[in-house]
């Protein structure tokens, strides 16, 4: 998506006076200035929208076009300012503040900004205050909408869902505060931090270096990172509940699962009616189970009222205890314990009665499915695009200015850079259709300096393949490989023969004689590059780089042996894992079969086993895996790299897996780590 910087909006001054009259006057002045600025920005567009403009199209023909403002991508606070409505009001519908978080399927009348304009004009003519009251009931402010008067624009359709501010910096931020209080109440904070700090690596995932409670600042990147792992971490931290904890723990996990699944499916680039049903179902589940966190959704006034109520109850209990007279220590202790439980129950009941989920970011989720039906995928309208462009458009322009009247210099700087980039791409497109001999030397030199590779643009895109990287210089034979991995040579030969009989034909099979195999040249590697087709794309790939360093350190840290997915059967095997099993990548090597004239690129993997046949557990929606049971013959090897491994072709490794530790030698498959895994393991 191309983004062109048109203007820099003025920043209103802060309120210097605490007097309500002075604040209202300054607010009205700021609103008038903002509306005047937008009138100036929209003035050229308004003329073009009414009369049209001739635009040269890609096929060389000129057509009369009518550009119309179709969407306004901004966070909620910016939208309410531009639409001229209250803070806890929806720009799309007339929902009241008491119903913002009550029902995920309740529909309210859509906003009719044309009618608001007519009521405002009538108020300007008559001065009837009842008209102002009618607008205030639906949260509309008089003459504050900057989009009024634009031709062919439906103002109620300008507001777009915002994944960044509404879900990640909004609901997930609230959710983590609730989860923190929930863990503290049930004394599970320590377990949560232990799982949080033991998360493995994954492409695009930033492994936490601190305990969760030690993180002080959460931005968009950190919240996205959290959303990819919070379900598995919470499910692992709430394992083995007591009978009294089983119900609250189950509801908390299901609430988090619903919100995580909703955020994932909202990122789909294309939808079907089935995926929209899933989206609505996840939202319904989130609304259904969110009440488990109601006691933690409190304000300062509510908490102060709960403490005051607790003090009254405590005083009454103390007076009653005094009236009882003398009693034994055991009886006094029992009465005090009962009083304490009564106060806790009263406190929770008070907090729940005074708390609610009626805030605007809870309600805005209701419009996500209908937006997909009208405009397509949600990701296309997210504010991420503008946030990323902010660095190049604003910050770089400011750095290149002299800090004197910087706003004009920023606009001019980005305009020049944008025009040059467009010119360079146009020249590159023209040169592609010319023969190399007919391209002027000066033009070719200019395009080379602009870092445009014309040769690569002319060739057809090729599908990347798996590659072995990071050769180990001290390994030249099978004995060297076994010594480096601490595996007996006989066991390695046995696994190679097993692999050969299962996967290779007669002409390419590997000999079972140990002496002959030890003479074959072997190369060991520390990295496997695996191209992964990007979810819902046909020619775009992500590169997974699986590492296996053995006992050697990785980048001045500890050793690294990644979890990988290995295709071990048909798609109908292993339940939700669809024929794949996760395993620890312990070695990568290339074996040259000199008598057969073949080269085998192989991997050593310690495979795990799926519990319940790979069935997804209803408690948390994840698959549980564990280590395979070792046979009696394998127990003689005390090394971590024991004989419980398999030799597989690198072509069967389909990507990196993300497993969250649960118990000793047990893990949860994190199927929410990315969209591709979420779509496959479900």
pLDDT tens digit string along 183-200?
Answer: 999 999 999 999 999 999
User: Taking 70 as the threshold, does the pLDDT of residue 454 lie above it?
Assistant: no
Q: What is the mean pLDDT of residues 213-218?
A: 81
Instruction: Provide φ and ψ at 344, rounded to 5°.
Output: -65, -40
Per-residue model confidence as pLDDT tens digits over 342-383: 888 888 888 777 788 999 999 999 999 999 999 999 988 888
Q: How far apart are CA 228 and CA 260, in angstroms?
A: 8
Q: Tell me the average pLDDT across 486-505.
A: 87
Contact 517, 491 (CB under 8 A): no
pLDDT band at 175 (very low <50, low <70, confident <90, very high): very high
Written as six digits, the tokens of 176 are 């983590």
Q: What is the model's pLDDT at position 363?
A: 94
Q: Report the distance separating Cα 174 and Cα 256, nearest Å.
A: 12
Which residue reads 């979890």 in tokens?
563
d(CA 288, CA 272): 24
Does 602 have pLDDT greater than 90? Answer: yes
Nearest to 382 by CA among 163, 594, 217, 229: 163
Buried/exposed 319-357: b ≥16 CB within 10 Å, e otherwise: eeeeeeeeeeeeeeeeeeeebeeebeeebeebbeebbbb
Over range 99-109, report the average pLDDT.
90
Q: What is the mean pLDDT of residues 20-46?
A: 86
Q: Are 87 and 80 in contact (CB under 8 A)?
A: yes
Q: How far apart are the C-alpha atoms of 233 and 198, rounded to whole Å? A: 10
Q: Which of the four pLDDT bands, split at 50, 70 and 90, describes residue 436? A: low
Q: What is the pLDDT of residues 228-242, one digit of tens each?
A: 999 999 999 999 999
Report the chain's mean pLDDT, rounded to a whole number.
86
Check pLDDT > 50 for residue 637: no
**95 confidence band (pLDDT: 50, 70, 90):** very high
Q: Mean of the pLDDT values across residues 448-458?
A: 54
Confidence of residue 435 (pLDDT cuts 50, 70, 90): low
Q: pLDDT-derived band of residue 509, with 50, 70 and 90 as boundaries?
A: confident
Q: State the pLDDT confidence band at 1, using cuts at 50, 70 and 90.
A: low
Residue 420, classed as helix, strand or coil, is helix
Instruction: Give the C-alpha distances (Å, rounded to integers) separating 412 from 111, 167, 181, 415.
Output: 38, 35, 50, 5
Return d(Cα 48, Cα 319) in angstroms, integer: 80
Q: Using CA atoms, how far apart are residues 297 and 349, in angstroms rounded to an integer?
A: 13
DSSP state, residue 159? B
pLDDT value of residue 352: 77
CA–CA distances in Å: residue 27 to residues 84, 136, 145, 270, 499: 12, 17, 14, 42, 76
pLDDT of residue 439: 64
Asked which of 255-259, 295-299, 545-549 is least confident by mean pLDDT, the reply is: 295-299
- On whether the CB atoms of residues 368 and 378 are closer than 8 A, the answer is yes
Q: Look at residue 65 and give its three-state secondary structure.
A: strand
Q: Given the structure tokens 């995932």, which residue do they identify? A: 205
Is residue 640 over pLDDT 50? no
pLDDT computed for residue 636 by the predictor? 43
Q: How many CB atoms lie within 10 A of CB 631?
A: 9
> In the predicted model, is pLDDT for residue 633 greater than 50?
no
Asked whether residue 461 carries a pLDDT value surpassing 80, the answer given is no
Contact 151, 47 (CB under 8 A): no
Q: How confident is the model at residue 303 (pLDDT cuts 50, 70, 90)?
A: confident
Those residues whose C-beta lies under 8 Å from the C-beta of residue 7, and which sit 6 or more positions away, are 37, 41, 411
Q: Confidence class of residue 543 from pLDDT cuts 50, 70 and 90?
A: very high
Asked if the model's pLDDT at residue 71 lies above 50, the reply is yes
Rounded to an integer, the average pLDDT of 402-410 is 83
Q: How far is CA 406 from CA 37, 394, 397, 412, in A?
A: 18, 10, 8, 10
pLDDT reported for residue 505: 75
Strand partners of residue 324: none
Region 313-330: mean pLDDT is: 84
Q: Give the torsion sign (CA, 552, 555, 558, 562).
A: negative
- Residue 278 has a pLDDT of 95
**pLDDT tops 70 at residue 91:** yes
- Measured between alpha carbons, how far is 64 from 269 in angstroms, rounded to an integer? 31
Angle between helices 220-227 and 172-185 (to 10 degrees): 60
pLDDT given at position 438: 65
> pLDDT confidence of 641, banded at 50, 70, 90?
very low
Q: In whole angstroms, what is the distance from residue 424 CA to residue 64 CA?
A: 27
Q: Note the pLDDT of residue 437.
A: 59
């Amino acid at each position: 998506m191309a983004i062109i910087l048109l203007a820099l909006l003025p920043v209103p001054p802060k309120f210097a006076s605490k007097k309500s009259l002075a604040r209202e006057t300054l607010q009205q002045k700021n609103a008038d200035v903002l509306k005047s600025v937008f009138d100036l920005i929209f003035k050229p567009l308004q003329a073009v929208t009414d009369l049209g403009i001739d635009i040269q199209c890609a096929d060389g023909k000129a057509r009369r076009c009518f550009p119309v403002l179709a969407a306004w991508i901004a966070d909620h606070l910016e939208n309410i300012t531009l639409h001229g409505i209250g803070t806890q009001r929806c720009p799309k519908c007339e929902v009241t503040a008491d119903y913002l978080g009550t029902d995920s399927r309740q529909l309210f009348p859509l906003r009719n900004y044309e009618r608001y304009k007519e009521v405002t004009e009538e108020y300007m003519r008559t001065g009837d205050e009842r008209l102002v009251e009618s607008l205030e009931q639906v949260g509309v402010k008089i003459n504050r909408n900057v989009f009024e008067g634009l031709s062919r624009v439906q103002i109620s359709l300008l507001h777009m869902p915002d994944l960044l501010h509404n879900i990640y910096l909004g609901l997930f931020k609230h959710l983590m505060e609730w989860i923190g209080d929930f863990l503290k109440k049930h004394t599970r904070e320590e377990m949560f931090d232990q799982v949080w700090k033991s998360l493995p690596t994954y492409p695009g995932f930033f492994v936490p270096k601190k305990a969760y409670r030690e993180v002080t600042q959460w931005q968009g990147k950190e919240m996205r990172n959290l959303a990819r792992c919070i379900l598995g971490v919470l499910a692992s931290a709430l394992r083995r509940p007591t009978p009294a904890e089983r119900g609250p723990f189950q509801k908390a996990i299901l609430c988090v699962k619903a919100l995580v699944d909703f955020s994932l499916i909202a990122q789909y680039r294309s939808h079907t009616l089935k995926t929209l049903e899933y989206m609505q179902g996840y939202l319904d589940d989130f609304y259904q189970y969110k009440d488990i966190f109601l006691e933690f959704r409190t304000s300062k006034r509510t908490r102060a009222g709960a403490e005051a109520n607790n003090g009254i109850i405590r005083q009454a209990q103390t007076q009653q205890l005094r009236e009882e007279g003398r009693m034994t220590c055991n009886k006094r202790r029992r009465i005090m314990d009962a009083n304490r439980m009564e106060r806790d129950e009263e406190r929770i009941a008070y907090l729940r009665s005074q708390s609610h989920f009626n805030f605007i970011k809870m309600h805005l989720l209701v419009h996500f499915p209908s937006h997909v039906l009208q405009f397509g995928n949600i990701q296309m309208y997210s504010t991420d695009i503008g946030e990323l462009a902010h660095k190049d458009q604003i910050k770089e322009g400011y750095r290149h200015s002299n800090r004197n009247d910087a706003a004009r210099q920023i606009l001019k700087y980005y305009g020049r850079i944008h025009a040059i980039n467009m010119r360079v791409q146009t020249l590159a497109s023209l040169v592609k259709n010319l023969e190399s001999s007919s391209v002027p030397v000066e033009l070719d030199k200019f395009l080379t300096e602009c870092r445009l590779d014309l040769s690569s643009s002319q060739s057809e895109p090729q599908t990347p393949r798996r590659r072995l990287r990071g050769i180990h210089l001290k390994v030249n034979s099978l004995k060297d490989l076994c010594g480096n991995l601490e595996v007996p040579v006989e066991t390695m030969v046995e696994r190679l023969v097993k692999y050969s009989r299962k996967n290779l034909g007669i002409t390419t099979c590997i000999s079972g004689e140990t002496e002959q195999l030890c003479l074959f040249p072997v190369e060991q590697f520390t990295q496997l590059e695996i191209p992964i087709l990007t979810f819902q794309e046909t020619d775009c790939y992500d590169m997974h780089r699986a590492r296996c360093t053995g006992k050697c350190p990785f980048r001045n840290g500890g050793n690294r042996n990644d979890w990988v997915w290995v295709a071990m059967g048909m798609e109908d095997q292993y339940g939700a894992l669809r024929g794949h099993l996760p395993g620890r990548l312990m070695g990568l090597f290339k074996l040259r079969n000199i008598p057969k004239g073949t080269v085998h690129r192989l991997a050593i993997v310690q495979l795990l086993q799926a519990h319940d046949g790979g069935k997804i557990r209803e408690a948390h929606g994840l698959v549980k895996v564990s280590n395979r049971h070792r046979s009696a013959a394998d127990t003689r090897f005390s090394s971590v790299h024991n004989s419980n491994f398999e030799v597989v072709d690198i072509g069967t490794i389909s990507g990196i897996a993300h497993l969250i530790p649960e118990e000793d030698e047990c893990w949860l498959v994190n199927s929410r780590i990315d969209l591709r895994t979420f779509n496959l393991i479900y």
